[in-house]
Structure 1
Amino acid sequence: MNWKTYHFNDLSVGKLYEILKLRVNVFVVEQQCPYPELDDLDQEAVHIEYAEDGKTLAYARLVPAGVKYDIPSIGRVIVHPEARGRGLAKQLMEQCVEYILTEWQAEEIQLQGQVYLQEFYQSFGFQPISEEYDEDGIPHVDMKFTLK
């Protein structure tokens, strides 16, 4: 599989448009959650993507320590609706964790996950560090991975 990582300035205009369109289509339209998808974190992030035939099928955003949280974080985890059920979400999370542990030499990772995905994130070693809370009308929980 051909996973790619990009810094913001390495994204072509076309690739950035494709990623943002996918994020808006799923996080805003599909989940019926009208909120500002563009939050000024993309410019500082590393973007991980899997594409087939030029179409983004899986994507996540890695934010370095000190930008959103004191430790690195994973966010905007997404699989294109047409590619769900193929195991891409699992592979995507493996790519994200590996990148942060290897490239950033981090020992902890944080994420803000939707509650219905809590068990999925726990399967990678993330543990809840907050109570359930509402974020833009969707139940969320903060979770942290700690290298043992």
Structure 2
Amino acid sequence: MNIKWHYKAFNELSPPEIYKILQLRSEVFVVEQNCVFLDMDNKDEGCLHLMGFVNDELAAYTRLAPPGYIYEEMSIGRVVTSHKHRSKGLGKELMQYSIALCRQHFGNGPIKIGAQYYLLKFYTSLGFKVISDIYLEDGIEHVYMMLDNTFPVGKVNY
């Protein structure tokens, strides 16, 4: 798969990029997962936005938050891949880029995520460890997970 990765601060995003991000997040989190929640939570503005494009289509996305913005630690959230591009290793590549970008921009501290419980094996395979009991968020089971700052991450090129 020929995917091109781009990341930008919120104020650098173009209106078409913002539209594609919100569209993909809504397609997966609201429609596919049948979850009614307010996705636009006033946190996008302080984050970096990693986008993976296949041709002109947004195939994968994450929101990267600096330490102290959402959690005490830096964090990766709104992890999403388009249903058209799943089962091709894109999720793993997305998270590897996300981890590397966090370390590159926010330092070598731990990274916290609120992971959907059914994806526990996936995130564990990337080095994340469960740090909480299961909790419900918008009717979906989640756990908090942490990637400590000793986990090796290679440098990625964009």
- Output the CA distance in 1 between the equivalents of 2:37 and 2:131: 24
Deviation, structure 1 residue 106: 2.7
- SS of aligned partner of 1:82: helix
Write out the 4+ residue segments of structure 1 that deviate beyond 6 Å after TM superposition.
Answer: none
CA contact (8 A) 1:72 1:106 kept: no
CA contact (8 A) 2:67 2:106 kept: no
Q: Which amino acid aligns with 1:6?
A: K
Q: 1:89 aligns with which of 88, 91, 114?
A: 91
- Output the CA distance in 2 between the equivalents of 1:40 and 1:64: 15
- Output the CA distance in 1 between the equivalents of 2:4 and 2:82: 16
CA contact (8 A) 1:112 1:140 kept: yes
- SS of aligned partner of 1:125: coil
Q: Which amino acid aligns with 1:14?
A: P
Q: 1:51 aligns with which of 17, 34, 53?
A: 53
After superposition, give the CA deviation of every residue in 1:88-138 in whole Å (9 maximum; x if it has no partner): 100000001111112221320000000000111111111011000111100
Q: 2:21 aligns with which of 19, 22, 29?
A: 19
- Output the CA distance in 2 between the equivalents of 1:142 and 1:134: 11
- Output the CA distance in 2 between the equivalents of 1:59 and 1:112: 16
Deviation, structure 1 residue 52: 1.5
Identical positions, percent: 39
- Output the CA distance in 1 between the equivalents of 2:137 and 2:96: 25
| 2:137 alignment partner in structure 1 | 135
Q: Which amino acid aligns with 1:66?
A: G
Q: CA RMSD in A?
A: 0.8
- Output the CA distance in 1 between the equivalents of 2:14 and 2:104: 25
- The aligned length equals 148
Unaligned runs of 5+ in 1: none
Q: 1:80 aligns with which of 73, 82, 86?
A: 82
TM-score normalised per structure 2: 0.91
